[in-house]
Structure 1
Amino acid sequence: MQPLLLLLALLLPLGTGTEEIIGGHEVKPHSRPYMAFLQFLDNGKKRRCGSVLVHKYFVLTAAHCRGSSMRVILGAHNIEKKERTQQVIPVKRAIPHPDYKNFSNDIMLLKLERKAKQTAAVKPLRLPESKNPGDSGDPLVCNNMVQGIFSYGKQNGTPPGIFMKVSHFLPWIKRTMKRL
């Protein structure tokens, strides 16, 4: 769990007071090949969110992580450096949940311009098959499946963090992915 928390903290927007890691450690490079880094412009300002690759053409993130010039970086260990494992893919279409409003139903699918090439550093994370069981858009992972998408929490990073339960949105996710 600590490696995931570290990854979540690293992907939070600058200025949120989470630039330092407290009680965490760096994860083994590319040990989370499903992690995706979303960059976009919001009113001319560069923003970023975490996200998760769930299919070769789709990334799941928080709906409030929307803007222009959206692109996803896959296969990165250190986002500040160019790595041969990185794949930078523009977002073709952002599909927020139809009932998204002020952190309610805060979940969004991103259709990629081209498919992600699966490698050791880039692999999709399975969606849960039933209703049984950071950073904005980052996944809550359990049993190698995405169970939640981080929506919001306290600015200082202390609990609680609010996650959208992915299994609740499965019909919408599957219907949307099939349609596109």
Structure 2
Amino acid sequence: MQVLILFLLPMAFLLPPGARTAEIIGGWEAQPHSRPYMAYLKIRRGQKNSYCGGFLVAKDFVLTAAHCWGDAITVKLGAHDISEEEDSQQVIPVRRQIPHPNYNGNTYKNDIMLLQLTRRVKLTQAVGLLQLTSARHRWRPYPTCSVAGWGRTGLNVRTNVLQEVYLVVVNDTFCQYRYLYYFPSSMLCVGDPEDDKSINLGDSGGPLVCRGVAEGIVSRCISNSIKPPAVFTRISHFLRWIKANLPEI
């Protein structure tokens, strides 16, 4: 452990305050519509388009990362292949973006946002809700969780079909040494430092699912040249804020 920490320490000073954000590395194609809560966000910011992940938490609300904001956002639900117009898909514009009022774009602190849709979705086998965690967990032992998204699967390697991977929640110490900013009370450190599996550019805002509930939101990630862990927003820390803005949760 001491050798690993000494190896990680100099890396922390090489990373910018907002290390690149989120894609599935070392994963595989998900079974179509096995994650009916997954949302694909098409984001317009000025003249540029980008995309993020998210997940359905109420019939007219999606939860995602605050850094996925835009001038306009369209949500695609019920998708497996985002390049196709599948019969299962529901495409709905966002009416209102509700980022956490204390979100900091430099440190990624409070990186959480609710999106209110212009209409309620129709729940189907391909479109469903994901339950949120109900407690602030400090696991022993740490659980293996899953994350999914449509981001790149490698350097300049893109995919249109939903990918997934299993990742382990690790001790906060790993992220405290790796990142310039890491706040254990509101963040989760995810990904085995000895494994190549992780997330990277494109999957921001997607859920970390542990034991059937959403525990985290993809926030910051590794770069192509640096191994895990990555940083997720700790949902349990924000339950009061979520309930205040979404009473039905």
Q: What TM-score bracket applies, with the shorter chain setting the length?
A: 0.7 to 0.9
Question: Percent of pairs identical after alignment?
Answer: 52
Partners of 1:95 and 1:34 in 2: CA distance: 19
Letter in 2 for 1:127: L
Letter in 1 for 2:130: L
The equivalent position to 1:61 in structure 2, one of 64, 73, 76, is 64
Partners of 1:84 and 1:152 in 2: CA distance: 33
Partners of 2:134 and 2:26 in 1: CA distance: 34
Residues 94-173 of structure 1: matches in 2 within 5 Å?
Answer: 94-102=97-105, 103-132=108-137, 134=199, 135-156=203-224, 158-173=227-242
Higher relative contact order (CA 8 A, sep 6+): 2
Partners of 1:48 and 1:93 in 2: CA distance: 17
Quote the residue 1:27 is aligned against: 30
Partners of 1:71 and 1:124 in 2: CA distance: 18
Q: TM-score, normalised by structure 1?
A: 0.84
Q: TM-score, normalised by structure 2?
A: 0.61
Partners of 1:131 and 1:59 in 2: CA distance: 21
Letter in 2 for 1:120: Q
Quote the residue 1:13 is aligned against: none
Q: Which runs of 5+ in 1 are unaligned?
A: 1-15
TM superposition shift of 1:144: 1.3
Q: Which runs of 5+ in 2 are unaligned?
A: 1-20, 139-198
Letter in 2 for 1:56: K
The superposition leaves residues 45-75 of structure 1 with CA deviations (integer Å, 9 ceiling, x where unpaired) of 1110000111111100000001122111000
Partners of 2:134 and 2:28 in 1: CA distance: 31
> Once superposed, which parts of structure 1, at least 4 consecutive aligned residues long, lie more than 4 Å away?
none
- Number of residues paired by the alignment? 162
Partner secondary structure for residue 127 of structure 2? coil
On the 8 A contact 1:17/1:155 being kept in 2, the answer is: no
Letter in 1 for 2:111: D
TM superposition shift of 1:105: 0.4
TM superposition shift of 1:173: 0.4
Partners of 2:119 and 2:216 in 1: CA distance: 25
- For the pair shown, the structure with the greater C-alpha radius of gyration is 2
Quote the residue 1:12 is aligned against: none
Residues 43-58 of structure 1: matches in 2 within 5 Å?
Answer: 43-58=46-61
